[in-house]
Amino acid sequence: MAEVTLDNVTKRYEDVTAVDSMTLDIEHGEFVTLVGPSGCGKSTTMETIAGLTLPTEGTVHIGGRDVTNLPPKDRGISMVFQNIALFPHMDVYDNISFGLRLRKYDQEEVDRRVEEAADIVQLEGMMDRMPSEMSGGQRQRVAIARAIVRDPDVFLMDEPLANLDAELKVHMRTQLQRLHKQLDTTIIYVTHDQAQAMTMSDRIAVIDAGNLQQVASPLECYNTPTNLFVAGFIGSPSMNFMDGEITEDGFTSEYATIDFDPTTHDVEPGQRVTLGVRPEDVHLERDQSDAAVATRTFNVVTDVLEPMGDELFVYLLMERDVEASAEGRGEGQLLMSVGPDTTIAEDEEVTVILDREKIHLFDTNTGDAIVHGLEPKSVPEP
């Protein structure tokens, strides 16, 4: 059994705290992805699990054993990194079996393990190829096979798909999931790409500035993000945000008011809140049946359209004179995702509604989520 536990792990480099009191329990057999923007501390966390760096404080346990001060080779782990280093003068068989031969496994055992690993990553028939004769994806599969033959308790993968082209990335994503299904091992995976994290993992650990923000299933992070950071980071394109204030009647901002009863939503009049709604939860009024419970309508003007094939992104200006920001969405701009066949033009006046059940409220000051989904507004007695 190879559960991995980080207990209060902190890693400081002079004045940089790369990892800040991180506590994380990963169960045996789980596929957990550490995800966050560049520089947030993902690799450093991974290096402390691998034993490539020692934490300044805290402990690491693998399979119930305190490995905090053990070298990598004694931890029962195998690593696959972004920059795969295959031996250029060795063929596939020799590359995969190198570690086993170094450890003096007998030939029969080496052959058995290499064959099994090659089968899992679909490299059969390529044993004699040299790395220079292979594509990037094939080379990456050799690196993964080399990790598999060691029969590790835990796989550590740090951006292993980063150097592959988009199509191959998607292909390797499914391969890695299959690998996880076949091998009874724990996989810890690092990526800055939230799409990779969402598609492959049992749970994702979202990190910002060395701090864990949320550890939960991909859908939980998507549907009930714990704070503004997770809400903005998970999901592409990202959630729309509007800064405003709570009133006696609900939410108000420069561009929008939405009615609800503050007393049933854990907010108080005067409180500064940020309203969040995902692009797919903004609907044209004429398609309002797409929303479970609609808010009041908003008159907006369409700005730029982005047809993606399977969906259509429509940038909306909540007022005509809103300045479109060069750096994405600013205040008063809203991104709507609609069906690809929707008839809509640029600079068109349209009426949209939001899905009340999909509106999130966050405390603007702390960033913490307050409410996921507004209740349907009770109709006042006549």
Residues that bind ligand ADP (CB under 6 A): 13, 16, 18, 36, 38-44
Least distance in angstroms from the C-beta of 72 to ligand ADP: 16
40 versus 164: smaller Cβ distance to ligand ADP = 40
158 versus 355: smaller Cβ distance to ligand ADP = 158
In terms of Cβ atoms closer than 10 Å to its own Cβ (0-12, 13-18, 19+), residue 63 is middle
8: left (phi over 0), alpha (psi -120 to 50) or beta: left
13 versus 87: smaller Cβ distance to ligand ADP = 13
203 versus 278: smaller Cβ distance to ligand ADP = 203
Three-state SS annotation for the chain: CCCEEEEEEEEEECCEEEEEEEEEEECCCCEEEEECCCCCCHHHHHHHHHCCCCCCEEEEEECCEECCCCCHHHCCEEEEECCCCCCCCCCHHHHHHHHHHHCCCCHHHHHHHHHHHHHHCCCCCCCCCCHHHCCHHHHHHHHHHHHHCCCCCEEEEECCCCCCCHHHHHHHHHHHHHHHHHCCCEEEEEECCHHHHHHHCCEEEEEECCEEEEEECHHHHHHCCCEHHHHHHCCCCCCEEEEEEEECCEEECCCCEEECCHHHCCCCCCCEEEEEECHHHEEEHHHHHHCCCECCCEEEEEEEEEECCCCEEEEEECCCCCCCCCCCCCCCEEEEEECCCCCCCCCCEEEEEEEHHHCEEEECCCCEEEEECCCCCCCCCC
Round to whole Å and give the CA distance between 253 and 232. Answer: 19
Least distance in angstroms from the C-beta of 41 to ligand ADP: 4
205 versus 282: smaller Cβ distance to ligand ADP = 205
Least distance in angstroms from the C-beta of 73 to ligand ADP: 21
16 versus 324: smaller Cβ distance to ligand ADP = 16
In 3D space, the residue among 146, 147, 221 whose CA is nearest the CA of residue 187 turns out to be 147
Least distance in angstroms from the C-beta of 327 to ligand ADP: 22
40 versus 336: smaller Cβ distance to ligand ADP = 40
19 versus 316: smaller Cβ distance to ligand ADP = 19
Least distance in angstroms from the C-beta of 192 to ligand ADP: 7
14 versus 108: smaller Cβ distance to ligand ADP = 14
Least distance in angstroms from the C-beta of 215 to ligand ADP: 16
Least distance in angstroms from the C-beta of 183 to ligand ADP: 25
Least distance in angstroms from the C-beta of 39 to ligand ADP: 4
Least distance in angstroms from the C-beta of 226 to ligand ADP: 19
